[in-house]
Structure 1
Amino acid sequence: MKILLTNFHTGRGGGHDTYVVTIARALAARHEVFVGAPKTSRLLQHASGVANIRALPIEFPAKLKDLGRFVGAIRQLRALLERERFDVVHVNGSPDHRLVLLATLFASFKRPYCVYTKHNTIRVKRDFMTKLKARRATHHVIAVSKPAAQLLEGSVYADCGVSVIPNGVDIHFYAPFDGYAAARRRDALLGTRHAGKLVVGTITGFDWYKGTMDMVAAVAALPEDLRKQIVLVVVGTEPNDEQRKVIEALNMDEHLLISGFTDDVRDYIATFDAGFMVSHAVESSSFACREMMAMGRPVLVTRYASLPENVDDDVDGWIVEPRDTQAMTARLRAMLANRSQLPVMGRNARAKAEREFCNSKFIQETEEVYERAAA
Structure 2
Amino acid sequence: MKILLTNFHNGRGGGHDTYVVSLARALAGRHEVFIGAPRTSRLLQHASAVADIRALPMEFPAKLKELGRFVGAIRELRTLLKQERFDVVHMNGSPDHRLVMLATLFASFKRPYFVYTKHNTIRVKRDFMTKLKARRATHHVIAVSQPAAKLLEGSVYADCGMSVIANGVDIDFYAPFDDALAARRREALLGVAHAGKLVVGTITGFDWYKGTMDMVAAVAALPEEMRKRVVLVVAGTEPNDAQREVIESLNMSDNLLVTGFTDDVRGYVATFDVGFMVSYAVESSSFACREMMSMGRPVLVTRYASLPDNVDDGVDGWIVEPRDTHAMTARLQIMLENRGRLCAMGLSARAKAEREFCNSKFIRETEQVYVRAAP
TM-score bracket, normalised by the shorter chain, equals over 0.9
Q: Deviations over 1:226-261 (max 9, x none)?
A: 000000000000000000000000000000000110
1:150 is displaced (CA, Å) by 0.3
Q: Which residue of 2 aligns with 1:226?
A: 226
Q: Which residue of 2 aligns with 1:270?
A: 270
Q: Which residue of 2 aligns with 1:236?
A: 236
Residue 111 of structure 1 aligns with an amino acid whose one-letter code is: R
Q: Deviations over 1:266-303 (max 9, x none)?
A: 00000000000000000000000000000000000000
2:50 aligned with 1:50: yes
Q: Which residue of 2 aligns with 1:338?
A: 338
Residue 201 of structure 1 aligns with an amino acid whose one-letter code is: G
**For 1:40 and 1:323, how far apart are their aligned partners in 2?**
34
Q: Which residue of 2 aligns with 1:64?
A: 64
**For 1:315 and 1:362, how far apart are their aligned partners in 2?**
25
Q: Deviations over 1:53-79 (max 9, x none)?
A: 000000000000000000000000000
The 3-state SS of whatever aligns with 2:204 is coil
The unaligned stretches of length 5 or more in structure 1 are none
Q: Which residue of 2 aligns with 1:166?
A: 166
For residues 104-123 of structure 1, what are the structure 2 equivalents within 5 Å? 104-123=104-123
2:315 aligned with 1:315: yes
Q: Percent identity?
A: 83
Q: Deviations over 1:20-49 (max 9, x none)?
A: 000000000000000000000000000000
Q: Which residue of 2 aligns with 1:298?
A: 298
The unaligned stretches of length 5 or more in structure 2 are none
Q: Which residue of 1 aligns with 2:371?
A: 371
1:51 is displaced (CA, Å) by 1.8
**For 2:346 and 2:373, how far apart are their aligned partners in 1?**
41
**For 2:223 and 2:308, how far apart are their aligned partners in 1?**
28
**For 1:76 and 1:288, how far apart are their aligned partners in 2?**
35
For residues 159-238 of structure 1, what are the structure 2 equivalents within 5 Å? 159-238=159-238
Q: Deviations over 1:147-191 (max 9, x none)?
A: 000000000001101100000000000000000000000000000
Q: Which residue of 1 aligns with 2:125?
A: 125
Q: Which residue of 2 aligns with 1:31?
A: 31
Q: Deviations over 1:70-108 (max 9, x none)?
A: 000000000000000000000000000000000000000
Q: Which residue of 1 aligns with 2:79?
A: 79
**For 1:82 and 1:347, how far apart are their aligned partners in 2?**
51
How many residue pairs match? The answer is: 375
Q: Which residue of 2 aligns with 1:98?
A: 98
**For 1:148 and 1:50, how far apart are their aligned partners in 2?**
31
**For 2:51 and 2:225, how far apart are their aligned partners in 1?**
52
TM-score by length of 2: 1.00
Residue 111 of structure 2 aligns with an amino acid whose one-letter code is: R
**For 2:18 and 2:184, how far apart are their aligned partners in 1?**
27
